[in-house]
Amino acid sequence: MTWLRNLFLPNAASIRASDVDDLFMFVMYLNLFFFFLILGMVVLFVIKYRRKSQTQKTAHIEHNTFLELSWSVIPLILCMVVFFWGFNSYMQATVAPDGAMEIQVTAKKWVWTFGYPDGSVGIGKLWVPVNKPVRMVMHSEDVLHAFYVPAFRVKADVLPNRYTEVWFQATEVGDYVIPCAEYCGKGHSEMRAYVKVVSQQEYEKFLEEGDPDEKGKPPEELGALLYTNFGCSACHSIDGTKGQGPSWKGIYGQQHKMTDGKIITVDENYIRTSILQPQAEVVEGFQPIMPSFQGQIRERQLVALIAYIKSLK
């Protein structure tokens, strides 16, 4: 029945996934069995005992201790099997193995930031080596969020007042989506990051030289890439539609009115300040909800984003 498994479960790419999936399928079979049992009883009885006349005799069976015991005890036993299996595999998934690599995760509306052991920081994209246990230590700067990687079958809420953690060990090289799974407001559905699982060599190369995707690109192209990676796209459109923030289309050189009444021309400096200190000036008609990227964005990336915005005519 692999088709059933493939229908319901996404690609499994971590060492814990197969155990979760096995239990999922075990419960699925139990479900199918009991559903068809009930369906069978109902259909059979409806056909067999359909009313034929108003005076038809009916059975007077008040109860049957044996039957009632069996459908209390058998489900109870099956439920206990599912309980222990689920609890056991949950316990194994709770404690990260010794020596797991540690990554600091910061969530805020609506961006994921990842801090690597060497102190470097990345936004929207999490690089990890394949076949290595990785432990995420997470906290939020505003409301609740939840870190979820469907392909790894892991999830944990991210709280503002204490650290929560998850760990995983990826088994397959590839890109996997990280959707935010705890409702966090307007940008919730677009608060999306990716895990990039790579070989150990590639991972080390990434730590030394930064993201190879970002290399050797003209600034405009790099800006376009960062626009999605950094999650700018959650709030800013590039086609003129109004989102949580102003669209970027054609704004370079325009004059914008701010909430405090000031008129500002959108130039390099204004864009730079907007990225690093977004609350300093807020465009009229919008709320001061943009997070600051101070300390998380490299100079080269900043230049690229400005170039990209300039290019959107």
Interface with Cu ion (CB under 5 A): 145, 180, 184, 191
The answer to the question of residue 66 lying near another protein (CB under 8 A) is no
Q: 49 contacts which partner out of another protein, Cu ion, none, CB within 5 to 8 A by kind?
A: another protein
Toward Cu ion, which CB reaches closer, 184 or 226? 184
Contact call for residues 151 and 10 (beta carbons, < 8 A): yes
What is the smallest separation between the CB atom of 215 and another protein, expressed in angstroms? Answer: 27
- Give the Cα separation of 104 and 118 in Å (integer): 11
Q: 273 contacts which partner out of another protein, Cu ion, none, CB within 5 to 8 A by kind?
A: none
Q: Which of residues 67-106 bind another protein (CB under 8 A)?
A: 67-68, 71-72, 75-76, 79-80, 82-83, 85-91, 93-94
**CA-closest candidate to residue 306, choices 253, 263, 264, 262:** 253
Return contacts of 232-240, CB within 8 angstroms, 24+ apart: 232/305, 233/190, 234/110, 234/111, 234/187, 234/190, 234/191, 234/192, 235/110, 235/186, 235/187, 235/190, 235/289, 235/290, 238/312
Toward another protein, which CB reaches closer, 91 or 263? 91
* Cα dist from 66 to 53, 59, 71, 79, 145, whole Å: 32, 18, 9, 20, 50
What amino acid is encoded at 100 in this protein?
A: A
Binding mask 229-248 for another protein (x = CB under 8 A): ------------xxxx----
The answer to the question of residue 224 lying near another protein (CB under 8 A) is no
- Give the Cα separation of 76 and 57 in Å (integer): 35
The answer to the question of residue 61 lying near another protein (CB under 8 A) is yes
The answer to the question of residue 64 lying near another protein (CB under 8 A) is yes
Binding mask 29-58 for another protein (x = CB under 8 A): -xx--xx--xx-xx--xx--xxxx-xxxxx
Toward Cu ion, which CB reaches closer, 125 or 145? 145
Toward another protein, which CB reaches closer, 94 or 277? 94
What is the smallest separation between the CB atom of 5 and another protein, expressed in angstroms? Answer: 10
Q: Of 121, 130, 137, 144, which lies in the binding site for another protein, with binding defined by CB under 8 A?
A: 144
Toward Cu ion, which CB reaches closer, 110 or 248? 110
- Give the Cα separation of 269 and 193 in Å (integer): 28
Residue 110 tokens, joined: 């609506």
SS3 8: helix
The answer to the question of residue 282 lying near another protein (CB under 8 A) is no
Contact call for residues 284 and 226 (beta carbons, < 8 A): no
What is the smallest separation between the CB atom of 41 and another protein, expressed in angstroms? Answer: 4
- Give the Cα separation of 232 and 190 in Å (integer): 10
What is the smallest separation between the CB atom of 34 and another protein, expressed in angstroms? Answer: 6
Q: 224 contacts which partner out of another protein, Cu ion, none, CB within 5 to 8 A by kind?
A: none
